[in-house]
Amino acid sequence: MAKNATTPEYPTRDTVIELGKRLCAAADEYADRKGYTEKHFELALCCLLQDRKYSRVATQRKAKLKPKKGAKKPNQLDFEIGNTNRVALEFAVRRMVYLTKTKNWQAKGHTVSENRSELRKLTHEDVAKVRYLLIVDVSGQPPVDLDKLKRDYQTYVASQSFKKKESVTVVYVHSDTYTVIAC
């Protein structure tokens, strides 16, 4: 069956930013979003990707990176989009988390240490034409310091301990702003 000429093959950087903005806009409709987890937003992202009629949207695909010794499950990519020009997409959410130790709510999910495994998985995806780590901030808090976020990710990827194989584009989206970080 011939592919429709208008059907996009894979998401561009601008499309990934737009998808993040749509997720933020949806979260902004709810006053209390503390009960929503990354999985809730991942399901919404899956629907948004499928609605775009890409030639292929695979979820929870086995990643190339071998799991650490003793791991209970294999490494998985959140999304792989397209056939020939594949895009690997890992998804993270900055959201409010209750810390029982301090009995406070805190925004979590955007730092390098919290997304280290996602970065490692993405850099090993050599078949993918483009690799994105999309961080959507639905915390309801002010956006993170974008310069510090960029510095932290680029410093980590350039470090000796990080074994980089392929480049990754980190996209952070908040209702008020966004940034793109080439790693």
Q: Tens digits of per-residue pLDDT, 85-141?
A: 789 999 999 988 877 888 888 888 888 888 988 998 898 888 889 999 999 999 888
pTM of the model: 0.88
Average pLDDT, the chain: 86
pLDDT of residue 1: 41
The pLDDT of 15-38, averaged and rounded, is: 88
Task: Give the 3-state DSSP-derived string for the chain, with helices as H, strands as E and coil as C.
Answer: CCCCCCCCCCCCHHHHHHHHHHHHHHHHCCCCCCCCCHHHHHHHHHHHHHHCCCCCEEEEEECCCCCCCCCCCCCEEEEEECCCCCEEEEEEEEEEEEECCCCEEEEECCCHHHHHHHHHHHHCCCCCCEEEEEEEECCCCCCCCHHHHHHHHHHHHHCCCCCCCCCCEEEEEECCEEEEEEC
